[in-house]
Amino acid sequence: MRRARTRRSLIALAALGLGGCVAPQAPVGPMRLVSAHEHRVELSADGRAVIVAPPPGDCLASDKVHVVGGAAVTLMTACDASPGDAVQTVTIAAEPLFGARDAALELAALEAHLRGPQGRRGLGLSGDAPTRVVASRRDGATLYLVIEDAAAPEALLCRAFTEVNGRLAMVSASAAAGEGERALLRRAEAMVGALKAVNAVAERFGPEPAPRPQRA
């Protein structure tokens, strides 16, 4: 039951992952935007502090953090980016990917699902177009998939799925002009590495304390 719900969430997150982002919104549901700067976005994901930070050379579009219900999408580009350069996003969900379950077994099941007809359709840019998985790699508790999207067959897309501070995280990166599969994977790996490093401290301190009830 939980696994099926997580897979549905992943399909919804993929549709958000490289779609249009909007300015920070008022809190809706279990996801809340705490603060946003070009090198750090802080979120409260159903009581867990999750931080989004870019790898060296990249910056966050702090005015384009999209918070919808149980998910938050942060746009990331090279700090010296020009129009038309590769787009990258980090999507955080207010639910776990693994929880108390075995990460290796869950990633194997997730990859099998995402390689199936329904999973592949949810991986693309639109969230509902045929895709082809051209490469995959598992590194510890992270699954990387390089995808060819029928909507834009000339450009590869990489999606990485992992968990930070007990919350599902998806990194998405579109290939720059002339960028191959290996270079795209390395860029996604750098994004995941930065995300995990900045959240290591938050994971040690555990969930945020529950807010105190307001006096009438």
Q: What pLDDT, in 10s, does the model give residues 119-166?
A: 887 787 766 667 889 999 999 999 999 998 877 766 789 999 999 999
Percent of the chain with pLDDT over 90: 44
Residue 63 lies in a domain: yes
73: its two tokens: 């999408």
What pLDDT score does 116 carry?
86
Q: What pLDDT, in 10s, does the model give residues 60-76?
A: 988 889 998 889 999 99
Residue 139 lies in a domain: yes
* Terminal alpha carbon distance of the chain: 40
37: Cα within 13 Å, side-chain hemisphere: 5
Residue 21 lies in a domain: yes
Domain coverage including residue 95: 2-204
Residue 43 lies in a domain: yes
If you compute the radius of gyration of the chain from its CA atoms, what whole number of angstroms results? 16
**One-character DSSP codes across 35-74:** EEETTEEEEEETTEEEEE-PPTTEEEEEEEEEEETTEEEE
Tally of domains in the chain: 1
Q: Which residue has the tokens 């999209």?
A: 66
Sheet holding 167-174, edge to edge: 58-68, 71-78, 88-93, 167-174, 156-164, 142-149, 131-139
Residue 215 lies in a domain: no
Mean pLDDT over 109-116 rounds to 88
Residue 122 lies in a domain: yes
Q: What is the reported pTM?
A: 0.82
Task: Work out the pLDDT band at 82, boundaries 50, 70, 90.
Answer: confident
What pLDDT score does 21 carry?
38
Residue 61 lies in a domain: yes
90: its two tokens: 């980090």
Residue 116 lies in a domain: yes
Dist. CA 153–CA 35, nearest whole Å? 36
φ and ψ at residue 149, rounded to 5 degrees: -100, 130
